[in-house]
Amino acid sequence: MPVINFSNPIRDSSSVSAYSKKVITEILKKAGISQTTITSAGRTAGDQARIMYENITRHGVAHQKKLYGQHGDKVIDEYSSLQAAGKTQSQIIAGMTSKINKIGPGKVSKHAADPKKLNVVDIAPSSINLALRKKFEAEVRKDTRVSKFLTPPGDPAYHIEIPQP
Amino acid sequence: MMITIKKLKQVFIFFTLALLMCLQPACASKDCVYDDTYFKASRYSNNKLIEKLNYNKAENTAQIITRTGDLISIKHWACNHHGIHAVMLVGPYPSDDNLDIKKHFKTLSNIVLDKTEADIFNDFILKKDMPLKQKPVTLKIENDQYDEFYITYTSVNDSIILEIKVYKG
């Protein structure tokens, strides 16, 4: 039975449902892959707000605004206005969470979704033997349980979205 | 003359691979989480380590010839993820010149990484023993800010190939 590893098991292992693990395991088995590594999984709007808050405090508003597109910039602006108003960390994160929900979580991070409805996982291409990558890609594309699949070189990782039953 | 032909052959292979690496179009920015305006030609064109720059904004790619004649191919992501993949071909040089892997990696990181990533990278390689081997060596840089951050290096005849991949989503 193929093994699914997690780069960050504490953060991500509970975000991937038993159903999604079954889908991925079956794809791996069909592709002849014995193990792979999930580098990132789904996160709630609150998780996304906390990550963005930490990155802003670590790198600054200007640095983060250079990275994000228009939707992320609105969340950063929300941070700036709440910070200027003297709000506490938890109040700022709550405000950013509310902003993310208003914009639409999927516009601020492709990983931000309701895990009960959609599981989003990234698989490290480096965790799959080069000779088996085409077979893996073909098996994912064939699987109707996968709603969206992004591959290198357009994306750095194998990005897989699995709607939940 | 032999080295020149060998070098030209490598340049051809390298840029063909670089082209194949980048055939998919960049994401439409309005649907993207990350902003690709961060990836600008000026990021490279002002760098004194660079002799020639072939910059492709539409594909978010760049090919570089360094002042020392080494080749770098860069793919930048700024849509669903933010990150960079850079491959550097160093040489061909006499084998003794290839031994200092850290020196070549520092050149590559100075060209392709931003300050935050370069600081993490330089701290990492400072503590690592990095002997040159015929078989590719992959070293993961553990950092919870990134989904993946790793380097790979290997020697091929009189040249070495270095790779840095870092991204977050």
Q: What is the pLDDT of residue B100?
A: 84
String of DSSP letters for B67-127: TTS-EEEEEEEESSSEEEEEEEEE----GGGG--HHHHHHHHHHHHS-HHHHHHHHHHHHT
Residue B165 — very low, low, confident or very high, per pLDDT cuts 50/70/90? very high
Beta strands at A35-40 and A3-6: parallel, antiparallel or unpaired:
parallel
Compare all CA atoms of chain B with the CA of A127 and give the residue at the minimum distance. B148
Work out the number of other CB atoms within 10 angstroms of the CB of residue A77.
14
Cβ contact A117:A106 at 8 Å: no
pLDDT of residue B144: 83
Q: Establish if B137 touches chain A: CB-CB under 8 angstroms.
A: no
**Interchain pair A156, B35: CB under 8 A:** no
Residue B159 and residue B156: Cα distance in Å, rounded? Answer: 5
Q: What is the pLDDT of residue B134?
A: 81
User: Can you give the residue ranges of every domain in chain B?
Assistant: 2-94
Task: Please state whether beta strands A118-123 and A35-40 pair in parallel, antiparallel, or not at all (unpaired).
Answer: antiparallel
- Maximum average pLDDT range among A37-46, A60-69, A81-90, B18-27: A81-90
Using alpha carbons, list the distances in angstroms from residue B81 to A79, A110, B155. Answer: 22, 8, 30
Judged by CB atoms closer than 8 Å, whether chains meet at A68 and B34 is answered as yes
Chain centroid to CA B78: 16
Mean pLDDT of A66-74: 93
pLDDT score for B6? 57
Question: Of the candidates A82, A64, A81, which has an alpha carbon nearest to the alpha carbon of residue A73?
Answer: A64
Nearest CA-CA distance, residue A91 and chain B, Å: 23
Cα Rg of chain A, angstroms: 18
ipTM here: 0.84
DSSP B130: -
**Among B78, B46, B39, B83, residue whose Cα is nearest residue B62:** B39
Q: Write out pLDDT tens, residues B11-37.
A: 555 555 444 444 444 444 567 899 887
| A21 burial level (CB within 10 Å; 0-12, 13-18, 19+) | middle
Domain boundaries, chain A: 3-42+113-163, 45-108
What single DSSP character describes residue B25? P
Residue pair A4/A24 in contact by the 8 Å Cβ criterion: yes
Strand-strand pairing, A3-6 and B50-56: unpaired
Tokens of B22: 């980048």
Q: What is the pLDDT of residue B26?
A: 43
Q: Is A21 on the interface with B (CB under 8 A)?
A: no
Tokens 């910059």 correspond to what residue?
B55
Span B113-126, average pLDDT: 92
Mean pLDDT (chain A) is: 94
To test the contact with chain A by mutation, choose from B40, B80, B145 the residue with the greatest count of A C-beta atoms within 10 A, namely B80
For residue B58, report the phi and psi dihedrals to the nearest 5 degrees: -60, -35
Q: What DSSP character marks residue A110?
A: T
Per-residue pLDDT of B32-70, as tens digits, reads 899 887 788 888 888 899 999 999 988 889 999 999 999
Contacts of B43 (CB under 8 A, 6+ apart): none
Cβ-Cβ pairs closer than 8 A, A with B, add up to 80
Per-residue pLDDT averaged across B98-110, rounded? 88
**Separation CA B78–CA B148 (nearest Å):** 15
Q: Which amino acid is at B114?
A: D
Report the chain B residue with the minimal C-alpha distance to residue A110. Answer: B80
